[in-house]
Amino acid sequence: MVKNQRFIELMDEVRKQKPLLHVITNRVAINDSANGALAVGASPIMAEAHEEVAEIAAISGALELNIGNLTPYSIESMRLSGRAANKAGVPVVLDPVGAGATDFRLQTVQKLLEKVKVAIIRGNAGEIAALAGEKWAAKGVDAGDGNGDVTDMANRVALSWNTVVAVSGAVDTITDGRRTYRVKNGHPLFPYMTGSGCLNGVIQAAYVAVTSNALEASVAASTIYALAGQLAGEKCAGPGSFRQHLMDELYLMNEEKIQRYAAVEDVTDL
Ligand SMILES: Nc1ncnc2c1ncn2[C@@H]1O[C@H](COP(=O)(O)OP(=O)(O)OP(=O)(O)O)[C@@H](O)[C@H]1O
Ligand SMILES: Cc1ncsc1CCO
Ligand SMILES: [Mg+2]
């Protein structure tokens, strides 16, 4: 399945369709998330008023829920929009930011997953470890260190919630619990840009808006995003200009760069 050609087709499809993305996210990442969505060709709307979220979710190409700055109000926004998205057949992406940091976050994610069918869960290893019930020294919203096998944890979470799981890190692991892919693109400056994982989640939403195959959407989004960061990192001196170059490289991504540099492996049978 993972052919560079397919990533290119999906990238073109996002640019052609310009899917509306309903995003409920944290106040740290909100502006970069909107700009990154525009850079890949999607059309973001950040909305969380209870009066309108169901209506917006139902007409969107995808809904992205990010729990980075939870409040009781935003939890209800996520529930209402998630239910409306499910009813309308709109795919939902969930970013369980800091799920290992507090019981409140973990319980909120679990309750959301019980009520809302999610197409892709995207998180760092610490967050996915929390969902898998694995011990892991996650540090707030950062991944931290742990000994668990990332693929095994991701598989378990994917099978429990019947979803695709995309684990970000130096290598990204994407699985539906049956097939597993690894993306080796990326750049060490990524962790110095706050909200870079949150933007990854929004790009996942842009891609799942244009295909009913959430696994291929997630592998394509993870690859194109990590590759844009890799090319950005090669051009810049530090985190400030990395952020600028990342937006540019998302916008400038093309067939030639994907064919030349995408480093994706199907590790299902390894
Ligand atoms: N050490 C690294 N080397 C290369 N790429 C990396 C590295 N760490 C993360 N990435 C890339 O950075 C992007 C963001 O992933 P990361 O795991 O840092 O998200 P996150 O921890 O959820 O971020 P945040 O919470 O700040 O939004 C991914 O596309 C991933 O491929
Ligand atoms: C720093 C931070 N705190 C809550 S959300 C967020 C953005 C990165 O996840
Ligand atoms: Mg994160």
Q: Does any domain span residue 147?
A: yes
Judge residue 46's burial from the number of C-beta atoms within 10 Å of its C-beta, 0-12 exposed, 13-18 middle, 19 or more buried: middle
Mean pLDDT of the chain: 96
ipTM of the complex: 0.98
Please, which residues have CB within 8 angstroms of residue 122's CB and are 6 or more apart in sequence?
93, 94, 95, 165, 166, 168, 197, 200, 201, 204, 218
29 in contact with ligand 2, CB cutoff 6 A: yes
Q: CB neighbours (10 Å) of residue 102?
A: 13
Q: How far is CA 46 from CA 75, 81, 113, 120, 257, in A?
A: 15, 12, 21, 19, 31
Does residue 160 have a known ligand-binding role? no
Mean pLDDT of 93-118: 98
Instruction: Give me the domain span that covers residue 79.
Output: 4-265
User: Is pLDDT at 266 greater than 80 in this prediction?
Assistant: yes
Mutate to test the pocket of ligand 1, among 183, 196, 261 (most ligand atoms within 8 A of CB): 196
Cα Rg of the chain (Å, integer) = 17
**Residue nearest atom 18 of ligand 1, based on CA coordinates:** 191
Torsional sign, CA 141, 144, 147, 151: positive
% of the chain exceeding 70 in pLDDT: 98
If you search the block for the tokens 């959301």, which residue do you land on? 112
Whether residue 109 lies inside any domain: the answer is yes
CA–centroid distance, 50 to ligand 2, in Å, is 23
Which residue reads 């993306």 in tokens? 183
The pLDDT value recorded for residue 146 is: 77
Tens digits of residue pLDDT in 109-167: 999 999 999 999 999 999 999 999 998 877 788 887 777 799 999 999 999 999 999 99
- Report whether pLDDT(1) > 60: no
CA separation (Å) from 254 to 11, 41, 46, 202, 219?
Answer: 8, 13, 27, 19, 16
Kindly report the protein residue whose alpha carbon is nearest to atom 5 of ligand 2: 68
Does residue 218 lie in a domain region?
yes
Ligand 3 center–CA 26 separation, angstroms: 10
* Region class of 24: left (phi > 0), else alpha (psi between -120 and 50), else beta: beta
On whether the pTM is more than 0.90, the answer is yes
pLDDT for 269 equals 66
Give the residues surrounding ligand 1 with Cβ less than 6 Å away.
97, 124, 141-143, 168-170, 172, 186-188, 190-191, 194-198, 200, 225-226, 229
pLDDT class of 36 with cuts at 50, 70, 90? very high
* Distance in Å, CA 247 to ligand 1 centroid: 15
If one counts the domains in the chain, the total is 1
Structure confidence at residue 137 (pLDDT):
74
Beta bridge partners of 123: 167
Query: In the chain, pLDDT over 90 holds for what percent of residues?
Result: 93
Residue 92 lies in a domain: yes
Residue 18 within a domain: yes
Residue 159: what pLDDT?
A: 98
The CATH code of the domain that includes 170 is: 3.40.1190.20
Asked if residue 68 is part of any domain, the answer here is: yes
In a domain, 126, yes or no: yes
- The predicted pLDDT at position 148 comes to 75
- What is the CA 96 to chain-centroid distance, rounded? 10
Please name the residue that has the structure tokens 């917006």. Answer: 56
First to last CA, the chain: 16
Number of H helices, E strands in the chain: 11, 11
Question: Angle of helix 30-39 relative to helix 196-208, nearest 10 degrees?
Answer: 40
Mean pLDDT of 32-58: 98
Is residue 52 over pLDDT 70? yes
Provide the pLDDT confidence category of residue 86 given band limits of 50, 70 and 90: very high
Residue 231 lies in a domain: yes
> What pLDDT shows up at residue 2?
63
Q: Ligand 2 pocket, 201 CB below 6 A?
A: no
Q: How confident is the model at residue 270 (pLDDT cuts 50, 70, 90)?
A: low
Residue ranges of alpha helices (H) inside the chain are 4-17, 30-39, 53-58, 72-88, 103-115, 125-131, 150-161, 196-208, 214-233, 239-252, 255-261
**138 C-alpha to center of ligand 3: Å?**
11
What mean pLDDT comes out for the span 68-82?
98
